[in-house]
Amino acid sequence: MSQRGKDLELVKITKRYGDTIAVNAVSHHFKPATYACLLGPSGCGKSSTLRMIAGHETVSDGSILLDGQDISRLPPAHRGTAMMFQNYALFPHLSVAENVAFSLKMKGEDKRNRLAKAGDMLELVDLSALAERFPHQLSGGQQQRVALARALITRPQVLLLDEPLSALDPFLRVRMRSELKRLQRELGISFLHVTHGQDEAMALADEIVVMNDAVIEQAGSARDVFNRPDTAFVAQFLGGHNVIDLADGRFALRSDAVSLTDAGTGKMEARIMAVEYQGTHVSVSARVAGNQDLMALVPDAVFFQNVKNPGDAVGLTWEQEKLHRLTQ
Ligand SMILES: Nc1ncnc2c1ncn2[C@@H]1O[C@H](COP(=O)(O)OP(=O)(O)OP(=O)(O)O)[C@@H](O)[C@H]1O
């Protein structure tokens, strides 16, 4: 049941709510059959962007093209997109199979056809055995699979997912994460997944699109965005980096690139503020001149060769090429 993916293009889309500009002239080209994550802090405009693509929110300015066709003024059901909501929005009085088949009923398909298609979708998400149950008889993870099947039954070219994993416990979240990725690959369509979790985005995304303050701050593969953040915001939001101001500019420096040395022998002198044991690594926070705190992520075995404690004076050092220049 593989479907060929289509490319989705946002051309200067803007969303205004009264005086609030939630999305400010955002342009982006999502390649076909990509798992893309829209990542950013609360209020940066991720959901508004997704809802405009889905057609649940009007576009104040700009256009949305799917496979070259302007879909920005079409009703949601005619766009070739489908949305899976955060709270799943299942109908409590309908069985699992009827929930999944619901949109086909609205389209007037006959019962036999709709139940057959719903059966295929339930198989896809591994829920065939629970077709006759009602939503309240399902676990959170199972409800989510129903919501997925219900969105996929419309055969969308782009599946839009708004914080799809946020209601699940951490264990299930990781399991559903790989499930989503598997489905995306198997179907060969694009998934556009909104999250504020950088771990989630890095684990899933072929492409991470980082939003901040109503605009896209940076987009690229997880590895590129992590290793070559453009701005201090991206470096800090993705985590694992220090942002340091040096005489010749502002730089990102990965915490695992910082080593501790004896006082007087490093590139910077510092005083240890906190030490946290994290299993494979020890995270050491150290204050340098100007009250900047730098984080060093030291491998467990290395740290315990020469244990340091809060209050100790140390040197911090790194290889020069590990400094990554930031544009702002
Ligand atoms: N219906 C609305 N009316 C007025 N303002 C809104 C409306 N929906 C969103 N906003 C505002 O638009 C901005 C962007 O909101 P949006 O929900 O798109 O952000 P988000 O990045 O998805 O945030 P979150 O992660 O908290 O869901 C916020 O300032 C928000 O308060």
Q: Give mean pLDDT, residues 82-98.
A: 87
240-261 pLDDT, tens digit each: 999 998 889 999 999 999 999 9
Of 26, 44, 85, 86, the residue with max ligand 1 atoms within 8 A of its CB, to mutate for a pocket test, comes to 44
pLDDT single digits (tens) 278-295: 999 999 999 998 888 999
Q: Residue 86's pLDDT is what?
A: 67
Whether pLDDT at 1 is above 50:
no
What number is the average pLDDT over the span 97-101? 94
The correct answer on CATH 3.30.43.10 for the domain covering 244-325 is no
Give the Å distance between the CA of 82 and the centre of ligand 1.
Answer: 20
Q: What is the pLDDT of residue 14?
A: 98
Q: Best mutation site among 19, 48, 195 for ligand 1, i.e. most ligand atoms within 8 A of its Cβ?
A: 48
Angle at 208 between CA 202 and CA 210, to 5 degrees: 110
pLDDT digits (tens, 9 = 90+) for 129-154: 999 999 999 988 889 899 999 999 98
Residue 22 CA, ligand 1 centroid: distance in Å: 6
- Residue 4: the pLDDT is 58
Residue 305 has pLDDT above 70, yes or no: yes
Span(s) in the chain for CATH 3.40.50.300: 1-80+157-169+186-239
Please state which of the ranges 99-108, 226-235, 277-286 shows the lowest mean pLDDT.
Answer: 99-108
- pLDDT tier at 107, thresholds 50, 70, 90: confident
Residue to mutate (ligand 1; options 16, 26, 46; most atoms within 8 A of CB)? 46
Average pLDDT, stretch 260-268? 92
Q: Where in the chain are all domains bearing CATH 2.40.50.140?
A: 244-325
For residue 201, pLDDT beyond 80? yes
Find the 198 Cα to ligand 1 centroid distance in Å.
19
Establish whether this prediction's ipTM goes over 0.85: yes
- pLDDT at res. 325: 96
Whole-number pLDDT of residue 242:
96
Mean pLDDT over the full length of the chain: 92
Atom of ligand 1 nearest to the CA of 18: 4
| Tens-digit pLDDT profile for residues 61-85 | 999 999 999 999 999 989 999 998 7
Residues at CB less than 6 angstroms from ligand 1: 17, 20, 22, 40, 42-48, 196
* Superfamily classification of domain 1-80+157-169+186-239: P-loop containing nucleotide triphosphate hydrolases (3.40.50.300)
Average pLDDT over residues 266-281: 95
Residue 2 confidence (pLDDT) above 70: no
Question: Would you state the pLDDT for residue 236?
Answer: 94
Over 60: is that where the pLDDT of 3 sits? Answer: no
Distance 43 CA to ligand 1 centre (A): 5
The residue whose CA is least distant from atom 24 of ligand 1 is 42
Phi, psi of 310 (to 5 degrees): -55, 135
pLDDT digit string, tens, across residues 8-58 = 999 999 999 999 999 999 999 999 999 999 999 999 999 999 999 999 999
Q: Give the pTM.
A: 0.90
Distance 77 CA to ligand 1 centre (A): 23
